[in-house]
Structure 1
């Protein structure tokens, strides 16, 4: 991600119900040690620190991490340019993967390895929470110019026209391309692919990595899976005691 795309990301993704959900979850443990994996430009990461938690933000994209570091109170967070394998062992009470970061980990072996590393980084009984779009909701069908056109107002007053196009759906993976057109005709593009895992696949991968699922919701108000227009799979799991796994 370039610095320009990072700025566009911040405009497109303001504070929302998902952030409120994860912040409330963290606040159940005062002064929790939290790791935000795939923290992006730090929207939730910084809010967690402001709420009194000890926060580590982990992000592999340097431009996103630079944007996060440069924000007000960025010095209150420990920033790591890396992945889950770079985390210390038994150092956190809560691990978060928000804004559908879990779907960015497309390879199933890599996803399994990430969960194992997060279990290693959590204390016994520590929690893991993340969101992943429910494939049954088929949200990608809205990723076309007719449904996705939007206008973004940048902090400097520039107005950018944006839209998304679907490019491929195959084997549980959905590819797309974001377009951003500036007033001078210049256009930026950002392509991506997301892995859509089913509820059963998520549960199986969590169990294999040493987690037990506390709850799985379909929407940000706590609706059951399949009962919300949000079309989510919101997971809260707990790291099993190592002694219990032997």
Structure 2
């Protein structure tokens, strides 16, 4: 199933257990915090980890995601009433409603097609007030992250809140033209095995800058790591901060 880790409640639980608060969340929360009491859009909010953290920090947060199972998990968490949750895509965004927009957990790479990416950036630009900021992460293709997405290096045992366990690993199935396709394997302790397939787009820094400029954004800076290192000297990331 395509992107089942966001759409299948069984895999959403695994995803939530695997990805707890980390340095990426610290980075985004700090950047958002540079605009006090901001109206924040979290596009592709998933199960709401960062959205809830931003709301707890005093921001007015709207979380948007097309995956119903992920949003159901988000709405069930403590503090969820502080966030406005919307099931949908960038097409549903209101105009000039947000001071800051974020896309985290490499959501920007989900938009594989250039025309789709162009539409998403245009919708984000319309949703921000003049001078509003867009913050997102995208992996630097020069870091070759997909080479570590193999059954040996990616294998992980995940313990779920109900006491069950799931062993997970990733297997790349295709790499071409900046697109990487892969399959996530989930082997549960009850003997059940589930699969989730995905494709991500690895855009170069030049491609990101050009697409942002075309959409009406001005790039303030791009970091290479979660501690704001220069590109090429950090964690193999492009951490983009742009302004309308």
Q: Name the TM-score, length of structure 1 as normaliser.
A: 0.95
Matching of residue 193 in structure 1 with residue 202 in structure 2: no
CA deviations 1:59-78 (Å, max 9, x no partner) are 00111111111111111111
The structure 2 residue matched to 1:93, chosen from 94, 99, 102, is: 99
Matching of residue 237 in structure 1 with residue 242 in structure 2: yes
Determine the structure 2 residue equivalent to 1:169.
175
Q: Counterparts of 1:202-241 in structure 2 under 5 Å?
A: 202-228=208-234, 230-239=235-244
Determine the structure 2 residue equivalent to 1:109.
115
- C-alpha displacement of 1:87: 1.0
CA deviations 1:12-55 (Å, max 9, x no partner) are 11111110000011111221000000000000001111111000
CA deviations 1:79-133 (Å, max 9, x no partner) are 1111112111111000000000000111110101110110000001000000000
Q: Tell me, in whole angstroms, the C-alpha distance in 2 between the residues paired with 1:203 and 1:219.
A: 17
Matching of residue 19 in structure 1 with residue 54 in structure 2: no
What SS class does the counterpart of residue 221 from structure 2 fall into? strand
Q: Tell me, in whole angstroms, the C-alpha distance in 2 between the residues paired with 1:87 and 1:80.
A: 9
- C-alpha displacement of 1:184: 2.4
The structure 1 residue matched to 2:43, chosen from 33, 37, 41, is: 37
Gaps of 5+ in 2: 1-6
Q: Counterparts of 1:54-93 in structure 2 under 5 Å?
A: 54-93=60-99
Determine the structure 1 residue equivalent to 2:151.
145
Q: Tell me, in whole angstroms, the C-alpha distance in 1 between the residues paired with 2:162 and 2:87.
A: 28
CA deviations 1:115-169 (Å, max 9, x no partner) are 0110000001000000000001000001111111111011111121111111110
What SS class does the counterpart of residue 145 from structure 1 fall into? coil
Q: Name the TM-score, length of structure 2 as normaliser.
A: 0.96
Q: Tell me, in whole angstroms, the C-alpha distance in 2 between the residues paired with 1:86 and 1:162.
A: 34
Q: Tell me, in whole angstroms, the C-alpha distance in 2 between the residues paired with 1:110 and 1:182.
A: 35
Identify the range of structure 1 (147-156 vs 126-135) with the bigger mean alpha-carbon deviation: 147-156
Q: CA RMSD in A?
A: 0.8
Q: Tell me, in whole angstroms, the C-alpha distance in 1 between the residues paired with 2:94 and 2:198.
A: 29
Q: Tell me, in whole angstroms, the C-alpha distance in 2 between the residues paired with 1:218 and 1:30.
A: 25
